[in-house]
Structure 1
């Protein structure tokens, strides 16, 4: 095991684990305040910050993948990047253990530590879900979904019977929260554009089903936003089924808890998130899997350790007795407070508690539609769509011109309906502690039948070719032996 360090004599060393909304903002704030008087290291599995709210547009072919990524080395000046996944924290030795991208082990020592590891897909004990569903937390999952949806429409168009055609062009999204609603909204528009150039059998159209156990879509948001989103989805033909969830999932479809069965080859799991498993290894009190911190984002009894974002249970000072929700807005603001308080602990500035003011929410429903309530003012239709996209452009720390250019091109030109096959089903298992990375297990170790069958056919063909070659070789040997005997 190697020990990695970038300490400069006399300078304190700060390690920030994670470069999502909270970690990225913490690093940027700390770098700006300390002005190279502190060594800052960011430990992250990827070399980019991912702007998650625009991920549904990547899956729907509106934005190219790199548009929603911002280079860490290009945007965080005077910050050192170490690629790796943190898998342990030793508070006594003040070290973070990690595994690098090529399997190597390493350690980072720190004087101050910021845990901003974020969250992963939330799993429920539903038979077949882990094997047949895919989440939506990382770029690999968005790329896989884009290819998968395109492939299913192409296979549906070429299907020999109506039943197969219908099942292949049926898409089920579980979870009608922020992510699930946007995936269904953008996905429906995407499949509509695909079938214009590749028509299905007569009378068959792409079918999108959005499920949630709650009584309405977007249950965590204002009722007016919920009603607007519900109205837009239903008008487009999306089947919104509230008070319903999945009882069992198979390769051929899903069984719902109301007894209905939906034949489908696509199950997108957007039921929510859970904190990264790393926080459990810290060995400190948790609140529903999140690390308990004080209003200054400090871990109790360890003033040198801070936590923020989805990994931290931060007291909500506006609602005594409650904790802030796991949202990008909270993570972004908490990251700034964490950076400020780390700097204060090193003698730069003054620390402050985390207190937020609700500025409203925005939901992009695809096309020109949206739902928003900036500063509590409810908006819908094209105006809400414009406000939503304007908010995203303002919030993104980079790539604004490229994103805006892609939006203009999407409005003027048809989307490209091609599948690149760069991410396969076994690369994006639902149960993953790092959805931002594409996994590469052997196909025979997975339960994803489509890719497994393709691999099996390839293997069988190679075996058949080898047997044919062996038989041919045996015949040649027999012929040579016969000729030799005749010569003798």
Structure 2
């Protein structure tokens, strides 16, 4: 790959998910920047629609967009490669096929599934990537499991349970280690969602920590077990291997950022999305697609400021852990909106229409 350097600031963006793709889309309109996107996948994917796909409500074309045409349109170089190492002193990225140098680096590789060392967790299905979600859907359609256990009751686990309850004849079980559903959201949200799942015949098992996953079921730490033909793991994420390999300031494994979304101590490295720990003014940013998009737009503007030699502007967190924002699909063309302690009392079909429009519009903007 011939990527010639000129008088422009070369910005290399690692990761073409929601954060990375949105940053490229916004930064491409700024002067003084030469953009390179490092992403091995051929398509931008909207992870928020994975549960919809699993439930047969959308198809691959509805939640993906090809990267190459988008990058050509934006005059951005697409290095279809996987970054494996970053030399921060020499400002050089080693990939599986090529090496790239940079003036400014934006890290947006997302996160990977965290199995927390659970024995046999590799037997579980996952919907953390498109490839994994396709495998899970094929299994549901081909094997028609009678009993499905979903490990984890965050928004993804809840949406997965709702879609499967609506579109299969399987008995659905949601397993949560904590004492309530949606443990990162308000108790009001937990109470509401337990009613929603109960109305769909989904059985909720709280205070259940998984010890192991075996063929045909799940065993818990308390010695009890749950027999099922399919287990889907949605219980957590951890930093991508590339992020784990970097000798940079971190908090709980995530890259520690300053108020400008630069990695602390580095004026030439920014981090956005799931890989970043962003805590500003006592508020901690949530790891959501909405927050990643806003971070991406802000960083694009700050990159332009670097090119112009002007002062950066600090970031303002929109969705914090103390006032989280969530739109959760509950099946049957309905969804609920959650903001802090408030469960938005708008008709659920209107919220679903709004959420569906948001998710699908993300894909459309890249086509």
Asked if 1:122 is matched to 2:143, the reply is no
Contact 1:73 1:79 in 2 (8 A): no
Corresponding residue of 2:343: 378
User: Matches of 1:326 and 1:25 in 2, distance apart?
Assistant: 15
Alignment CA distance shift 1:369-1:394 (3 Å)? closer
Corresponding residue of 1:301: 265
Alignment CA distance shift 1:59-1:355 (3 Å)? same
User: TM-score normalised to the size of structure 2?
Assistant: 0.91
Alignment CA distance shift 1:86-1:389 (3 Å)? farther
Please report how far the alpha carbon of residue 185 of structure 1 lies from its aligned counterpart in structure 2 after TM superposition.
0.8
Alpha-carbon deviations, 1:230-275, whole Å to 9, x = none? Answer: 1111111111111112222111211123333222221111111111
Alpha-carbon deviations, 1:148-196, whole Å to 9, x = none? Answer: 112222xxxxxxxxxxxxxx4110000000111111111111213xxxx
Contact 1:6 1:39 in 2 (8 A): no
Contact 2:256 2:278 in 1 (8 A): yes
Asked if 1:179 is matched to 2:176, the reply is no
Aligned-residue CA RMSD in angstroms?
A: 2.2
Corresponding residue of 1:54: 49
Corresponding residue of 1:65: 60
Please report how far the alpha carbon of residue 379 of structure 1 lies from its aligned counterpart in structure 2 after TM superposition.
3.3
Contact 1:19 1:43 in 2 (8 A): yes
User: Matches of 2:116 and 2:164 in 1, distance apart?
Assistant: 24
Please report how far the alpha carbon of residue 9 of structure 1 lies from its aligned counterpart in structure 2 after TM superposition.
2.6
Corresponding residue of 1:152: 143
Map residues 3-82 of structure 1 onto 2, 5 A cutoff: 4-34=1-31, 37-76=32-71, 77-82=74-79
Structure 2 runs not aligned, ≥5 long? none
Please report how far the alpha carbon of residue 118 of structure 1 lies from its aligned counterpart in structure 2 after TM superposition.
0.7
Corresponding residue of 2:301: 340
Contact 1:364 1:385 in 2 (8 A): no
Of 320, 326, 337 in structure 2, the residue corresponding to residue 361 of structure 1 is 326
Relative to its length, the structure with more strand (as a share) is 2
User: Matches of 2:285 and 2:271 in 1, distance apart?
Assistant: 13
Please report how far the alpha carbon of residue 368 of structure 1 lies from its aligned counterpart in structure 2 after TM superposition.
2.5
Please report how far the alpha carbon of residue 391 of structure 1 lies from its aligned counterpart in structure 2 after TM superposition.
3.1
Contact 1:172 1:264 in 2 (8 A): yes
Contact 2:285 2:317 in 1 (8 A): no
Alpha-carbon deviations, 1:19-43, whole Å to 9, x = none? Answer: 1121112111211222xx4210100
Corresponding residue of 2:292: 331
Corresponding residue of 1:456: none
Alpha-carbon deviations, 1:440-478, whole Å to 9, x = none? Answer: xxxxxxxxxxxxxxxxxxxxxxxxxxxxxxxxxxxxxxx
User: Matches of 1:259 and 1:65 in 2, distance apart?
Assistant: 40
1:397 partner SS: helix
1:351 partner SS: coil
Alignment CA distance shift 1:379-1:115 (3 Å)? same
Corresponding residue of 1:292: 256
User: Matches of 1:23 and 1:327 in 2, distance apart?
Assistant: 14
Map residues 183-202 of structure 1 onto 2, 5 A cutoff: 183-192=160-169
Structure 1 segments (4+ residues) deviating >6 Å: none
User: Matches of 1:385 and 1:142 in 2, distance apart?
Assistant: 25
Map residues 72-471 of structure 1 onto 2, 5 A cutoff: 72-76=67-71, 77-99=74-96, 105-130=97-122, 132-153=123-144, 168-192=145-169, 206-317=170-281, 320=282, 323-347=284-308, 350-358=311-319, 360-373=325-338, 378-379=343-344, 383-394=347-358, 396-399=361-364
User: TM-score normalised to the size of structure 1?
Assistant: 0.69
Contact 2:178 2:207 in 1 (8 A): yes
1:93 partner SS: coil
Corresponding residue of 1:457: none
Please report how far the alpha carbon of residue 74 of structure 1 lies from its aligned counterpart in structure 2 after TM superposition.
3.6
Structure 1 runs not aligned, ≥5 long? 100-104, 154-167, 193-205, 403-488
Contact 1:5 1:109 in 2 (8 A): no
Contact 2:176 2:208 in 1 (8 A): yes
Contact 2:126 2:136 in 1 (8 A): no
